[in-house]
Amino acid sequence: MKLIYTGKTKDVYELEDGNYLLKFKDDCTGENGVFDPGANSVGLTICGVGKAGLRLTKFFFEKLRAQGIPTHYIDANIDEATMTVKPATVFGQGLEVICRYRAVGSFLRRYGKYVEEGQPLDAFVEVTLKDDGRGDPPIIDDALDMLGILTLQEYQVLKDLTKQIGAVVKEELAKKGLELYDIKFEFGRIGEDGQIALIDEISGGNMRAYKNGVCAEPLELEQLMLEE
């Protein structure tokens, strides 16, 4: 197999059959040892976080598959910390889609004059460009359309899928006494027909979830979610 991309938290390999293999690493995004799912750099390394992130990702992608929601997922090997997926073509050079249930993180930093920290938001969907050098700028539907990244119809599909998937995650977390504040997804086109599908991962590193008013670290979140 061939290494085709070295990411912040995963390495991507191309398999002989054309599928991709994602290798989960023990790195988390953040700064100076503090976890931040919105950060553009590796801020800390936690032993075991790769496998735990993969276990949670497997849990959610299998749940989504059972509900008929399109994703890139094929299967996962926890011991090896790898996941086999269908290759996707991303929109432009990649987008991040955020679903917000409470005002924290970059939303609060940007709009803090108008919202209180933790103020409820109604599954508010926001898209940013994956552009580390420019700090992942937020982008609206008209700009995505104008720049040829996504049509307005595709934007609607993306937004609807985001709310649908966010609701699944939120409900599963709630069963374990965790409240989802926000979550980041990635989407791409897969297969011959270029169907819009969820790609990448759904782990503790992509979301903020609170337990008794305290934000859970990725590993803690994964342990809480996966314990029997």
Ligand X SMILES: Nc1ncnc2c1ncn2[C@@H]1O[C@H](COP(=O)(O)OP(=O)(O)O)[C@@H](O)[C@H]1O
Q: Which residues bind ligand X (CB under 6 A)?
A: 5, 7-10, 12, 20, 72, 85-88, 90, 94, 186, 188, 199-200
- In angstroms, the CA 168 to CA 183 distance is 12
- Least CB distance to ligand X at residue 213 (A): 29
- Least CB distance to ligand X at residue 131 (A): 11
Residue nearest to ligand X (CB): 7
- Least CB distance to ligand X at residue 4 (A): 9
Query: CA–CA distance from 120 to each of 36, 124, 184, 225 (Å)?
Result: 20, 10, 17, 23
- In angstroms, the CA 58 to CA 63 distance is 8
Residue identified by tokens 């791409």 is 188
Per DSSP, the three-state class of 44 is strand
Q: Decide whether 57 or 180 has the Cβ nearer to ligand X.
A: 57
Q: Decide whether 102 or 106 has the Cβ nearer to ligand X.
A: 106
- Least CB distance to ligand X at residue 205 (A): 9
Q: Decide whether 82 or 103 has the Cβ nearer to ligand X.
A: 82
Residue 131: CA count within 13 A, CB half-sphere:
12
**In 3D, which of 191, 177, 60, 182 has the Cα closest to residue 125?**
182
Contact 212, 134 (CB under 8 A): no
Helix residue ranges, H only, the chain: 49-66, 105-111, 141-146, 152-175, 218-226
Q: Decide whether 59 or 115 has the Cβ nearer to ligand X.
A: 59
Question: Residue 9 carries which DSSP code?
Answer: S
- Least CB distance to ligand X at residue 9 (A): 4
Q: Decide whether 19 or 115 has the Cβ nearer to ligand X.
A: 19
- Least CB distance to ligand X at residue 5 (A): 6
Neighbouring CB atoms inside 10 A of 191's CB total: 12
Q: Decide whether 97 or 103 has the Cβ nearer to ligand X.
A: 97
